[in-house]
Structure 1
């Protein structure tokens, strides 16, 4: 079974989350206290794994502000907490077909849900008549034997008809016995029971156990059930459970390919040393694959006799120790003395390697994993999710870190926010936790991790581009690409495909971008706007010497203007047509060159003239910004297809600018 979506209602901060779609992996992104943990708890409560038992308690979990109204709000049935939609696998559909016929279900889609105080409810698209036809054929009933229930389509009706017969044949009795043996004496209940058993368990993690650095091996024994205990030496070998960090250490040994039993049974030094070295090599190889923070680390497993002056209980017996060696500094330290991030990451690898090894059908719910990790280490953790967890389990995790947002597929992210709205009286109220798979969150802070992840990913992509052109804003990028595409269609000079165009966010920030790119072995050029106050900024950029002066360009110099922006590439008539289309200006609101001359005749820069004209338009006119016309042009490129003098003048200017940009490339 694969989980397709879930919906949480009536649970803590979540009144109705909306339907949350899932794939192999999903990332719940939101601020602290947005309700991410509540969503994971509700999902886990559908069918919790034994290691993470989660139950629904009405007094504790029902939204507190409505608790006193519970009976009125849910008079017919207990409140629904979690509703999930699944797709049965081909193998599961075949199993059902073998028991109830190939037409038993009209769809592989099933729904599982849970209410307060109830078990798992199952909804399937059952064709009970087809099921009964299959079961009747399976038990070899003749036409005469079928007449007793010919008009009955349900199992209950067939059973009732058979039970009412004065004389019953062997085949009829066999069919009746089969129906009586079904869970709840119902085909629907039987299929629902099958679906429940096939449904994966949900394993929820919020506390991530950390491994101990050492353990006394000669006191540890396993019982017949596989439980691990420490047996005291004095006075009566009474047992006590191992602490969790010690259990993780045992998992670590097994992960490395050995065990306490193997170590204890070694009879010679060489045998023991071989096992320890083999374990050390195995775990080091796996660590290096996913811990890129420091490639010079090795894990060493050592087994030595205790020293009498060591702290108890490591002052007697045989001690297994994990140490971390830095081959660059040629020093090793106890595992427990490494950084908190390293200990967390290593312990996580061990824990989930064991989860995957144990098998079983699981959905993994990870609450805020990797909080102690550096951003690059969080990227390693994401890679581990994709490589080791997703092939075996669906994974849903929450985060507010931009480095835990999957950068190669932002569609895996789900935005979680506690939606606040203002009442007419000005007093705020909440709609509760809401989840959406688009990026239209009402709170910009909620989107910060997503924006930061996207910005970081874009920035990293720029380091891959060997030839980077820095421009001031996204409008420059769109306009240059649109004009280049039109020139290319007309078989004129277009932008060289080697260029990667990067909006820097203004002339002030270009110097910062240049500093970031310095040392990345990139070929960088700049094409900027220039106003009267920008001369000093350009001089400072040239004086810095990070970019050769011939690769620091601006539009007015290329176009022969005293000052200008990317918009000055356009003939005024063409740019106004774009602006009118972008803002839907009609009638008296349409901007013309005559209006610009009248309202802003003394202004040189075209975009500033348009800004001045906009201030005189009706108050309900949208506020003018630089990007909207560019966005409209990329959606309506046909406006440049005409062969008017204004279009030709625009393309001539564009070609001048693009020639200058291409001229900054190395020959």
Structure 2
């Protein structure tokens, strides 16, 4: 079960985030300070938080500007939705409810968390519960049949006490049918209505003529309808048990290198716990399977030998038994500390890249210590290692303890991960998050460009708050009100560009970022499927606009690197292709135009026109259905058609994102033959030039 969409409302800085998509592996929230990224993550955690997570509290969590609505009784916490998350169901989920319902692959369940901490749900793809209107004709016909049967079973000429009772039962039963029939047509046959129908059917079975196939079929039909809602409810209960935990982690949750067990136990007994300071330590104890009091008691030493030990056999036996139990508890403590040390060491080695690194957790009197063993075998306290290393240790401790036995499948919500890590370590940790995303969905917020890869821009959701009145919004598009929100993306692209700008001998300069997405995604997919692909470690470089292509080509040529330009066949591309600098710098064959690779070239063709049929279908899925026009006007640019028919809301970014996702799941060979041929022409021309 994985989240595919989410929506946050009425939580702290969030009035209405608007619905946003969640990626299957990891999703990245980017935005300026105070935009509301933390509020989004914490609200999502409320869908299914760990047991020790705090409950929603309207005083702390409802937007402060609207608090009077609750205090004056105008609104009830029970009617205020905080978060909703829509989950797709995998094969195991569908199999788990197969005895109740048969579900298609696209069935989903949406969980809704309310401010009073109640959890509700809605279903898509499940058997629909019909309205009463759909069964009322059957109820009337069943009633008529029973009246006829009743007249035969209870003839008025033979009045006896038993027949009178039967007649009275029949009349009572018929009145129940009338009661159900008179209810609102729109009421579903669920809950009370389903219970009434079941009661009616149970009473009707012995009265229906079993040789009457039509009435027996009607009974079977009504019986099946009466059970739909119950089956859905039972399936919901099964899915609730399978609902993954949502684990929130903040940089503030730090594991201390030395934990004073006696002091921590005393503060716990007094209820004097600092959630930020103690949370990491409590998570470590939870991971170890001990309370601070249990470890503190063990540290007091073995039971003291009584004065009557030698003279009283029963006292001696009792003491020896207590000593053995104490030693067993010490062994158990050591084994559990060792097991946790091994698990955390494996986690850290995978991220830190140091196979000699070892983490040790051991008890030293009233202190629980976290030590690190380096490649020389030297043990040092955790606080003597870097802040970034301590952050990683704390991260894995909290994640594993909060997820408990449900680590696999848990959704990890990470607030500003890796802030104290070096830039290169952040890049490594980004890869680790991708690995975790194979078993655990990850949603994390960041300001760092090193936590966003240039190949991950389609995973980014922009979080911004234009005003407190509007509250926090989450966008999948890059056209935001505050340009500062996308600075990490710009910096990430800038860094990748700077790193790759002169690292490859052969370079293809294209107009924009979306062009780069199409080229890189299609090239990788074609390479995997045995299709035509770029040779010689080609680098694809976006110039930003057509007018800047000449400048980029000049820089590359000045470094004695091979370079070619790929331009759209629109006006901007025409002007760029005719720039004196580009004409003088590159041979004619090195200035490539999109229209030259189409079966029939036409003016205005852009890179989207290489994949015209596929993008037309994807645009329809995005709500821009222009398939008929695209088919009827084959020599008109597809983006021009979409913009004309659907306005400026058409986003080339969304089209590129949808295409990249589609190609990743379907593969290059799923493209129409004509599009594969057009791509082959482009690849052949690029490989020939470079």
Q: TM-score, normalised by structure 1?
A: 0.53
- Secondary structure in structure 2 of the residue aligned to 1:565: helix
Q: C-alpha distance in 1, partners of 2:510/2:61?
A: 54
1:413 to 460, 467, 473: 460
Q: C-alpha distance in 2, partners of 1:369/1:453?
A: 16
Partner of 2:51: 50
Asked if the contact 1:12/1:64 (under 8 Å) is kept, the reply is no
- Secondary structure in structure 2 of the residue aligned to 1:85: strand
Partner of 2:85: 84
- Secondary structure in structure 1 of the residue aligned to 2:466: strand
Q: C-alpha distance in 2, partners of 1:291/1:21?
A: 31
Quickly say closer, same or farther: Cα 1:470–1:325, change in 2 above 3 A.
farther
Partner of 1:22: 22
Quickly say closer, same or farther: Cα 1:401–1:53, change in 2 above 3 A.
same
Partner of 1:565: 581
Quickly say closer, same or farther: Cα 1:118–1:289, change in 2 above 3 A.
closer
Quickly say closer, same or farther: Cα 1:414–1:324, change in 2 above 3 A.
same
Partner of 1:439: 478
Partner of 1:528: 554
Partner of 1:608: none
- Secondary structure in structure 1 of the residue aligned to 2:349: helix
- Per-residue deviation at 1:55? 1.0
- Secondary structure in structure 2 of the residue aligned to 1:385: helix
- Per-residue deviation at 1:290? 0.9
Larger strand share, 1 or 2: 1
**1:330-345 aligned within 5 A:** 332-345=379-392
> What are the Cα deviations for residues 491-528 of structure 1, in whole angstroms up to 9, with x where unaligned?
xxxx994664768999xxxxxxxxxxxxxxxxxxx963
User: Does the alignment pair 1:120 with 2:125?
Assistant: no
- Per-residue deviation at 1:288? 2.5
- Per-residue deviation at 1:32? 0.7
- Per-residue deviation at 1:26? 1.3
Quickly say closer, same or farther: Cα 1:81–1:250, change in 2 above 3 A.
closer
User: Does the alignment pair 1:35 with 2:36?
Assistant: yes
- Per-residue deviation at 1:356? 4.8
Quickly say closer, same or farther: Cα 1:455–1:193, change in 2 above 3 A.
same
Partner of 1:393: 440
User: Does the alignment pair 1:371 with 2:390?
Assistant: no
> What are the Cα deviations for residues 119-139 of structure 1, in whole angstroms up to 9, with x where unaligned?
222222443469x99xxxxxx
Quickly say closer, same or farther: Cα 1:106–1:419, change in 2 above 3 A.
same
- Per-residue deviation at 1:565? 1.2
Corresponding pairs, count: 474
- Secondary structure in structure 2 of the residue aligned to 1:447: helix
Partner of 1:109: 108
Asked if the contact 2:508/2:563 (under 8 Å) is kept, the reply is no
- Secondary structure in structure 2 of the residue aligned to 1:419: coil
> What are the Cα deviations for residues 219-247 of structure 1, in whole angstroms up to 9, with x where unaligned?
79xxxxxxx95899xxxx99999955544
> What are the Cα deviations for residues 163-185 of structure 1, in whole angstroms up to 9, with x where unaligned?
4699687999xx9xxx9xx99x9
Asked if the contact 1:418/1:431 (under 8 Å) is kept, the reply is yes
- Per-residue deviation at 1:48? 3.2
- Per-residue deviation at 1:14? 2.7
Asked if the contact 2:403/2:410 (under 8 Å) is kept, the reply is no
Partner of 2:10: 10
- Secondary structure in structure 1 of the residue aligned to 2:254: coil
Partner of 2:393: 346
Partner of 1:291: 352
Partner of 1:358: 405
**1:230-269 aligned within 5 A:** 244=279, 246-250=281-285
**1:471-510 aligned within 5 A:** 497=536, 500=539
Q: C-alpha distance in 1, partners of 2:390/2:446?
A: 20
Q: C-alpha distance in 1, partners of 2:253/2:9?
A: 31
User: Does the alignment pair 1:213 with 2:257?
Assistant: yes
Partner of 2:185: none
Q: C-alpha distance in 2, partners of 1:254/1:272?
A: 9
Q: C-alpha distance in 2, partners of 1:166/1:281?
A: 61
Partner of 2:157: none
**What RMSD over aligned residues (CA atoms) do the two structures have, in Å?**
6.3
Asked if the contact 2:511/2:544 (under 8 Å) is kept, the reply is yes
Q: C-alpha distance in 2, partners of 1:436/1:167?
A: 56
Asked if the contact 1:14/1:63 (under 8 Å) is kept, the reply is no
Higher mean C-alpha displacement, 344-353 vs 204-213: 204-213
Q: C-alpha distance in 1, partners of 2:441/2:509?
A: 42
Quickly say closer, same or farther: Cα 1:583–1:474, change in 2 above 3 A.
closer
> What are the Cα deviations for residues 359-393 of structure 1, in whole angstroms up to 9, with x where unaligned?
166433222222222222223333332334x3443
Q: C-alpha distance in 1, partners of 2:108/2:347?
A: 39
Q: C-alpha distance in 1, partners of 2:65/2:249?
A: 25
Q: C-alpha distance in 2, partners of 1:216/1:395?
A: 33
> What are the Cα deviations for residues 330-356 of structure 1, in whole angstroms up to 9, with x where unaligned?
855322222222111122123323445
Q: C-alpha distance in 2, partners of 1:326/1:404?
A: 27
What residue ranges of structure 1 are gaps of 5+ in the alignment?
A: 134-142, 221-227, 305-316, 421-428, 482-494, 507-525, 531-537, 542-546, 556-562, 585-654, 663-667
Q: C-alpha distance in 2, partners of 1:56/1:239?
A: 19
Quickly say closer, same or farther: Cα 1:565–1:74, change in 2 above 3 A.
farther
- Per-residue deviation at 1:289? 2.0
